[in-house]
Amino acid sequence: MVPGAVLGSLMKAFGNNPLAMAVGQMTSLSQCLLAVIAAMAAGRAFKFTMINSGSMALAAFMGSGSAAVDSKGGFLVNGPGDIINIGITLVISVLLIKIIQNRLGTLKVVLSPILVLGIAGGLGRLLFPYVHSITTAIGSAINDLTDLQPLIMGPLMGIIFAVLILSPISSVGIALAIGLSGIWSGSANLGITTASFTLAVMGASVNSLGGTLSHFIGTPKIQMANMLKTPKLFVPIGIVSALAGLEGAILNVGGTPASAGFGISGLIGPLAAFSTGTNNILLLLLEFIVIPLALAYLAYLLFVKKLHFIQPLDLKLPEAE
């Protein structure tokens, strides 16, 4: 998602240049392979063979719902699909492989892909419309908030998108689905940005420099496992993201549907704000760097140092191999 968004924004500066258009198309197409990449990562985590990992990739792609049959019998591929259903399909695939991997003998090269694709992929495909309806319902509920007064809507958008970016649900997909733009998008971006800085600052003492920077250069979703394991982490995140969303409403920070789910990652949020009205670089630095960092440090002082409500080890990231 991040390479597509970053390069997509940069390539727009080159207009109809053939090379820029080709790069944009490649990054867009790569997003459709999210299910495949997730399956290969899961296969590595469970130390599966390449055959089993490849079988999981096929099943996950089927369960993602990113491909659909068109009227001429061909296939249309659109986006990464439903991340929640990808996860469900992978869980089914892992359980199935655990059951069959020692029972197929020499036939596993032939039967494993068939069984995993047919059973796990088939179940994932059947579950897709029901699971996807959850994402649709969330999008509809968020869309209703855009009718509220900006000073109420801003904090709510900040909180909601900070929570979404730290969950299995695609914040980008939600923003695109409901066409979130203007200060609604800006408030969402600032909520995510401040959540990124806050998690980075609170966990900096136990994480490597690369891990700390990854929260905002990459995505705060790297903390998803820790957030689900220690739900009280959402308390400081909710507070700072609400204040950041309020900042967006007061300062009239803009954005686009394509930027709302990214925050500061790849400078997507700031670039969108710049292109939609905030054309003052110093103001952008204040909105996306100074205020979010100040809120993050205040949260660190309050929740880690003073109240000891959060321990830095709660935010410890797994070491990269």
Given this model, what pLDDT does residue 12 score?
66
Is residue 295 located within the same domain as residue 193? yes
Is residue 172 located within the same domain as residue 277? yes
Residue 141 lies in a domain: no
Is residue 237 located within the same domain as residue 308? yes
Count Cβ atoms within 10 A of the Cβ of residue 133 and give its class: 0-12 exposed, 13-18 middle, 19 or more buried. Answer: exposed
Domain boundary among 74, 99, 134: 134
Domain boundary among 134, 169, 190: 134
Is residue 192 located within the same domain as residue 256? yes
| Cβ–Cβ under 8 Å, residues 273 and 292 | no
Q: Count CA atoms closer than 13 A to 276's CA, side-chain side.
A: 22
Given this model, what pLDDT does residue 5 score?
59
Q: What is the CA radius of gyration of the chain?
A: 21
Is residue 128 located within the same domain as residue 166? no
Is residue 305 located within the same domain as residue 184? yes
Residue 11 lies in a domain: no
Is residue 260 located within the same domain as residue 116? no
The pLDDT tens digits for 111-135 are 999 999 999 999 999 999 998 888 7
Domain boundary among 77, 102, 134: 134
Residue type, 13: A
Given this model, what pLDDT does residue 13 score?
65
CA distance 21 to 246: 37
Q: Any idea of the CA torsion for 102, 106, 111, 113, to the nearest 10 degrees?
A: 80
Residue 231 lies in a domain: yes
Structural domain containing residue 228: 146-315
Q: What is the DSSP letter of 267?
A: G
Is residue 114 located within the same domain as residue 218? no
Given this model, what pLDDT does residue 6 score?
62
Is residue 106 located within the same domain as residue 160? no
Is residue 168 located within the same domain as residue 302? yes
Residue 26 lies in a domain: no
Domains of the chain: total: 2
Residue 182 lies in a domain: yes
Residue 25 lies in a domain: no
Is residue 80 located within the same domain as residue 200? no
Is residue 223 located within the same domain as residue 247? yes
Residue type, 155: P
Residue 16 lies in a domain: no
Residue 12 lies in a domain: no
Can you give the pLDDT of all 321 residues of the chain as single tens digits?
Answer: 656 656 666 676 677 888 888 887 887 788 888 899 999 999 998 999 999 999 999 999 999 998 888 888 888 888 788 888 999 999 999 999 999 988 888 888 899 999 999 999 999 999 999 988 887 888 888 888 888 888 999 999 999 999 999 998 878 878 877 888 899 999 999 999 999 999 999 999 999 998 999 898 878 999 999 999 999 999 999 999 999 999 999 999 999 887 888 899 878 899 889 888 777 899 999 999 999 999 999 999 999 999 999 999 999 998 754
